[in-house]
Structure 1
Amino acid sequence: MGRNRKRSTLANRAIVASAALILGGGGLVAVNTYASAGEGWSWSGQQDEQTQNQTKGAGQTVSTIDCPEVANDLPDVPEQARPEVDRELATMDSQITDAYQKFAEQKEQIEQDPQLAQNAILNPLKDKRLASIDRISVAINRAGQQPQGLDSLAPCALRPDDNVNAGEGDNGGDAQDGAQDGGQDGGQNDGQDNGQDGGQDDGQGNDQGGQAGNGPEAGDFVDIQSVEPNVQQPQQRRGGSKGTFTTDCGKNENGKFNPDNVIVAPGVSNGAHHMHDYVGNQANDAFASDDDLAGGDTTCRNQGDKSTYYWPVLRLQNGQDENDAAADGGGNDKNVGEIQTPSQVTLNFVGSPVSKVTAMPRLLRIITGDAKAFTNGDANANASWSCTGFEDRQLKDKYPICPEGSQVVRSFKFQSCWDGQNTDSANHRTHVAFADGNGNCGDGFQAIPQLVQRIVYDVPPGPGFAVDSFPEQLHKPITDHGDFINVFDENLMNKVVNCINTGQKCQ
C-alpha cells in the first residue's frame, strides 16, 4: 500500500532563530556506541557521589550529560524576579548544550582518558552553573527571601546509555518494558531486530543512534502489535460534564516554526534548542508579549480562538537534511531530518467525569510533559504514543512501530485542574494539576476544560523517525511535550464551558 508522505520544508517559511556558530564537518558526531562487557567508567581524583553513581556501570557506555533541573527546586519566585530567573535558566540550558557538544566532539579522547571529561567538561560546566545559580539567588533575594541549597544542584554527571543492551539476549529473547502508568505507559519489545533499526550502522554492526549520532536508537522503538491494551478511563459519575468543544486550527500548513519557548524562556532566542510546530496564534515567538498574542492572527477557524498550541516537530531519520541543518534549533542542536507535516491535528476540550468545569482564565499557560524527562525522570512525562487502529494501546517511553496502513499518533492530555488564582507559576507547573485517578481535583483546585491534543503522521512503516529534543535528551520519546496559552475571547470561552457542562458536542 503506497503512502503519501507529507514534508514541511523550511525554505520560504518563517523560522525565528538567533545567529549561532555553524557546525563544521563532522560536527554531528555519533556518541552512542557499545562498550565491551565489563567495561565501566571511573574517574581518578575526587568527585561527588552523584557523578560516581551515574558514570559507572558494567557493560554500559556513557551517552549524555545529566544535570539536576534547577527550575524544579526553586521556591516561589517573586513576579519582579521572574524575567531574570527565566533568562538564567535558559542560559543554563545553553551551558548544557555547549557541554554536550564538547562531549560529542571529544568522545574518542574521553574513552582513552576518562579524567578528560571531568576536567574539560564537567568541572567547567559546574562553575558556569554555580555562577547562574548565584545570579538566580540574588534576583530572588532582591524581592523576597534568598533560596537555600541551590548550589548542590550545580554538579552534573555523565549518564550511562540505557539502551546499549536493548534487545540483546539468548537468541534475541524477549525484552519487556514492563511499566504501565494509567494507560499512558507500557509496551513490550520482542527483542528481535527483524531488520529494523532506529539508528545508523557504522559499518561494523554498531548502532550509532540516528542520523545526528545522538538518537533515536533501535531500543527506543516497539512494535505496537506486541503491546497489550492498557487504556483506562475514569468512570463518569452523576454531576460530571460530558460535553466536548473542538477547535480546528489546522496542521501548521503555514509552516510556522521556531526554536523558542515564550512560556519557559521568554525573551530568549532558541530557548528550546529544538524546533516547534505552531498552530493557532501566529504572533508566538520568544519576544511575544500578552498584547502581541491578544492582537495576533490565528489559524483557528473560529477567530475567537487566538490561543497558541505548539509542540516539538517530528522528523524522518532518513539521512536527508532539512533547511535548518545549519541553524539553531536544527542541526546546530542535533535536530536533523525532514520535518513532517501532520496528516491530522485534533484539539478537543473535554470535561470532568465528576464535576462541572469553570472557565479558563485568559492567558493561562500550561505545559504538559517534560522536555528533559530522559535525565529528569518520568515524574512529569505525559505524552502518549500509539498507532491508528491501536489507540487502546499507549506508550510513554517508546516510539511505536506501526503496521502497514496504520499511522503514528502522538497524544497529550493537558492538566485539567487550576488553582483559581494564577495564570503561570515559577516552574510553570504548580498553578495547574492533573485530576486524581477518579477525576477529582485536589484541595484548592477547580476543574477547567481539559485540552486533549491528538497529532497523526503518515510516515513510512518502521522506526525511522523522532521528535526534536534538547541535544542531551537524545530524542527519547519520553521527552515529548506540548504547550498551550489560552487566548480565547470571553464569549467563546463561555460557549466552551456551556457546551461541556451541558453535554453538547460543539465547535
Structure 2
Amino acid sequence: MRRNTRRRPTGARRRTFAAVALILGGGGLVAANTYASAGEGDSGGRAQDRSGGDQAATISCPDVGQQLTDVPGEARADVDKALADLDQQITEAYDRLTSTRQEQAQDGSFVRDAILGPLSEKRTEVIGQIKIDVKRAGGTAPESLDGLAACTEISPAQARKNDGGGDGGEQDGEADSASPGTGQDDGGEGGEQQDGNGNGAAGPFAADFVDITKVQPNVQAKPRKTGDASTGTFSVQCGVNENKVFNTDNLIVAPGVDNGAHHTHDYVGNQGVDAFASNDDLANAETSCSEQGDKSSYYWPVLRVQDGTQEFDAEQQGGGLEGNVGKILSAKEAEITYVGSPAGKVVAMPKFLRIITGDAKAFTNGTANANANWSCTGFEDKVQLADKYPICPQGSSVVRSFAFQSCWDGQNIDSANHRAHVAFADADGNCGNGFKAIPQLTMRLVYDVPAPVIENGQVRNPYAVDGFPEQLHKPITDHDDFINVMDEDLMDEVVDCVNAGRQCGAGAGEQPQEPQEPQKPEEPKQPEQPQEPQQPEEPQKPEQPKEPKEPKDKPAPQEPQDEPEPGPEASSADDKDGAKKPGAAPDTPSEPTAAPSDVATSTREAEAPDDARDGETKARATSPAETSDTAVEAQSEEAQPQSQAGSGSLASTGADLWPAAAGGVLVLGGLVLLIHTRRRNTTTN
C-alpha cells in the first residue's frame, strides 16, 4: 500500500507539471504575439517600428526653374526640357524611396548614400547642361544654380505638417533635424494610407484636414476702390470638362515633354491642348466655351477621392503609377469671371499670354508662390484655407477658388520661370514696377465630395488634389493654369465691360452681386460670427443629401452617407479625346447625373470669396491654432460612423496571428490535462 500511495502522486504530479508547462508556454506565445502586433500598429505596416529613424517621408529639392528669370529665347526649349528632366529624376528618386523601406530599416545611411547621393549627381549634370545652353544663346546663368543640386529628406513628423521643409533654395536644416520615422508608415498613419486608399498613395494625412465649422473667420477686407476703379465683370461659360479632356502634360512649363506635369489635368475651353500644341494649334482648336471667340485654355489638377476606384489612368504615368489614385471628381460648377482693378482701368491681355497661379511644389518650395484657396459653400466670405482641406458640413460643398495675377509687364506673353512677366497687385490694388493692370481672371470650382472620416489620427477615403508624387498631395500645392486665346474683338469687349462697370457675358443678368460689393458692410460683422459654422446647414441640409446619385461603380462600403454627393462625376459616354492622348479617359457608358443644387446656386453670390471676386490680395491664411484635430475627429465620426477595420489581406492577417493561435491551443491543452489530472486524482483518492 505504501508503494501504491507513492506512485499515484508521482504520476499526478507529472501530469500537473506538464499541464502547467503547456499553459505557461502557450500564454507566453500569446503575450509575445500581442506585444508584436501592438508594436506594428493598426495599419498593418510591419516595418514602421523596426525601421527606427532610418527612413524619410519624402524628398525636397531646390526648384531650379524659379531661379531662371532671364533665359534667351533660343535656349528656352532646351532649358524647359532640362527642367523636365530634373522633375523626372525627383519622381524616380521618390519612387525608390518608397520601394526600399526594408533596406532603409537595415542601413541607417541608405537614403543618403543610395538615393540622395545619386540624385544630386544627376542633378549636377543637368544643371551644368542648363548653364551651357544659356551661355551658348548669349545669356548668363545665375551663379546660384551651382548650389541647387543637393536634395534633402523630409521626416514623417514634418510631412504631416503643411509647411514642408522648403523655402526656395534653402531646404537644409530643419528637414534633417526633425524627428525621424518611417515615411508614410510613421505612427500607423501612412501604412493605413497605403493599404486603405489604394496603390500606395502617400498622403494626404489626417492633419491635412480641418472641420471648417471650427475655424475662426479669416477673410480680409478687399482694397478700397478709387474713383477710377474698374468695377465691371465679364463671365464666360466653358463647362466642367464634360468632354473628359484629360492629360498629364503642361504646355506652359514643359512644352514638348510628355507627362511634364506628373499629374492629371482637367481642361475646359480650348480642346486641343497637349504638350506639343503650338499657338497656331490653339488658335485653330475647338472650344467648350459658349463664347466661341474664347479659345482660351483653362486647366487645373483634378480632384480625387482615394476610395480604391481604378480610374482610366490607374496604370499610367501621372496617374496611379505616380500616386495619383482614386475616383476623379468632376466639378458641378466651374465659374470663370474676369474682374477689374480697384485702383484704375485695365488694358487688354495679349493673345497667348500664359499665367500660372499657385505653386505645384509649394510643400517643398515654400509658400512664396502658393495661392491655394479652399472653402465650403456658405463659408466662402468668412473662411478661406491655404494649407488644409476643409471638411464641410452636410449640405455644403467643397470650393476651390483662384484669383490670378492681374499685373502684366506690358511686353512678354511668358517668362523663363513662367512668373516674372506677371505679378499680383499690392494691398491697395496698384501694379508696381511699371506693370499694367489687366482683367483679373478668377475661377471658382465647386465639388460634391464625400466627407472623409477621421478616426484615431487616421483618415479614410480622403479627397486630394493631384500633384507631383513627392509633394504628398498637400492642399497648399493647388494651382491653376491659363493661356489666353480670346480673339482681339472679344478681349476688347471684356476690357470695355470691366472698365465701364457693367456685368457682361454668360449669365450676366443673374449676377447683380458685383455692383453691391462696394457697399458690403459685412466685414465688421465677422468678429461676431465665431458660431457662424451652422449657417449653411439650415438652408442647405434639406437639398443636397437627398440626391441618390452615385451609381454602382463605387462598391466601397465606407461612404453610404456621401453617395448622393459625387453624382456629378459620373463619366460621359462621349470621350472625344481618346485617340489624342494616352491619358484620355476611355468611353464609359455611365449616365451623367447633373445633381444641380438649388441652395448652392441661390446662395452663390453671397458666398463668393472676396479675394477671388475682386480683391488683389491672396487669401492664403493658414488655419488658426485653435482648430483642433480632436474636434475634427469627433465631428467626422459623428457624421459617418464607420468600422475601423484593420488594413491588409486575410493571408497576411493569418500569418501575423498564427503564434497566438498556437499559444491558445497549448493553453487549452494544458487546462484540459490539468482538469483531467485533478479528476483522476480525486477519484483515486
Task: Please say whether Structure 1 and Structure 2 have the same fold, judged by a TM-score greater than 0.5.
Answer: yes
Mapped to 1, the partners of 2:44 and 2:260 lie a distance apart of: 24
**Does the alignment pair 1:319 with 2:304?**
no
- Structure 2: tracts of 5 or more residues without a match: 1-42, 164-183, 454-461, 506-685
Mapped to 1, the partners of 2:488 and 2:244 lie a distance apart of: 28
Which residue, out of 65, 72, 76, partners 1:82?
76
Mapped to 1, the partners of 2:78 and 2:360 lie a distance apart of: 21
How many residues align structurally? Answer: 429
Q: Deviations over 1:348-373 (max 9, x none)?
A: 00000011000000000000000000
- TM-score of the pair, normalised by structure 1: 0.81
Q: CA deviation at 1:443?
A: 2.1
Q: CA deviation at 1:256?
A: 0.2
Tell me the residue number matched to 2:193: 208
Mapped to 2, the partners of 1:249 and 1:287 lie a distance apart of: 23
Which residue, out of 282, 301, 304, partners 1:293?
282
**Does the alignment pair 1:95 with 2:84?**
no
Q: CA deviation at 1:461?
A: 2.1
- Match of 2:216, SS? coil
Q: CA deviation at 1:294?
A: 0.6
**Does the alignment pair 1:131 with 2:125?**
yes
Q: 1:495 to 1:31 in 2, by over 3 A?
A: farther
Task: Give the share of equivalent positions with the same residue, in percent.
Answer: 57
Which residue, out of 329, 339, 342, partners 2:331?
342
Quick check: 1:207–1:217 contact (8 Å CA) kept in 2? Answer: no
Q: CA deviation at 1:344?
A: 0.4
Mapped to 2, the partners of 1:33 and 1:453 lie a distance apart of: 44
Tell me the residue number matched to 1:489: 487
Mapped to 2, the partners of 1:390 and 1:34 lie a distance apart of: 39
Tell me the residue number matched to 2:375: 386
Mapped to 2, the partners of 1:102 and 1:350 lie a distance apart of: 46
Mapped to 2, the partners of 1:120 and 1:307 lie a distance apart of: 45
Q: CA deviation at 1:338?
A: 0.6
Tell me the residue number matched to 2:236: 247
Mapped to 1, the partners of 2:370 and 2:269 lie a distance apart of: 24
Tell me the residue number matched to 1:276: 265
Tell me the residue number matched to 2:343: 354
Quick check: 1:235–1:353 contact (8 Å CA) kept in 2? Answer: yes
- Match of 1:208, SS? helix
Quick check: 1:78–1:144 contact (8 Å CA) kept in 2? Answer: yes
- Match of 2:449, SS? coil
- Match of 1:213, SS? coil
**Does the alignment pair 1:503 with 2:498?**
no
Tell me the residue number matched to 1:118: 112
Tell me the residue number matched to 2:469: 471
Q: Deviations over 1:221-253 (max 9, x none)?
A: 000111111112112221101000000000000
Which residue, out of 206, 217, 223, partners 2:211?
223
Mapped to 1, the partners of 2:190 and 2:421 lie a distance apart of: 49
Mapped to 1, the partners of 2:253 and 2:472 lie a distance apart of: 20
- Match of 2:113, SS? helix
Which residue, out of 148, 152, 171, partners 1:153?
148
- TM-score of the pair, normalised by structure 2: 0.60
- Match of 2:401, SS? strand
Quick check: 2:229–2:343 contact (8 Å CA) kept in 1? Answer: yes
Q: 1:378 to 1:421 in 2, by over 3 A?
A: same
- Match of 1:62, SS? coil
Tell me the residue number matched to 2:253: 264
Quick check: 2:377–2:399 contact (8 Å CA) kept in 1? Answer: yes
Q: Which has the higher helix share?
A: 2
Q: CA deviation at 1:164?
A: 6.6
* Structure 2 counterpart of 1:437, one-letter code: A
Q: 1:502 to 1:165 in 2, by over 3 A?
A: closer
Mapped to 1, the partners of 2:315 and 2:260 lie a distance apart of: 17
Structure 1 segment 429-468 matched on structure 2, within 5 A: 429-462=419-452, 464-468=462-466
Q: CA deviation at 1:111?
A: 2.8
Q: 1:75 to 1:295 in 2, by over 3 A?
A: same
Q: CA deviation at 1:110?
A: 1.0
Tell me the residue number matched to 1:423: 413
Tell me the residue number matched to 1:15: none
* Structure 2 counterpart of 1:208, one-letter code: Q
* Structure 1 counterpart of 2:110, one-letter code: L
Q: 1:395 to 1:444 in 2, by over 3 A?
A: same
- Match of 2:59, SS? strand
Mapped to 2, the partners of 1:205 and 1:413 lie a distance apart of: 33
Q: Deviations over 1:158-197 (max 9, x none)?
A: 112346777xxxxxxxxx99xxxxxxxxxxxxxxxxxxxx
Largest Rg, 1 or 2 = 2
Tell me the residue number matched to 2:627: none
Quick check: 1:242–1:352 contact (8 Å CA) kept in 2? Answer: yes
Question: How large is the Cα RMSD of the aligned pairs?
Answer: 2.5
Q: CA deviation at 1:202?
A: 9.9
Mapped to 1, the partners of 2:65 and 2:159 lie a distance apart of: 30
Mapped to 1, the partners of 2:239 and 2:205 lie a distance apart of: 31
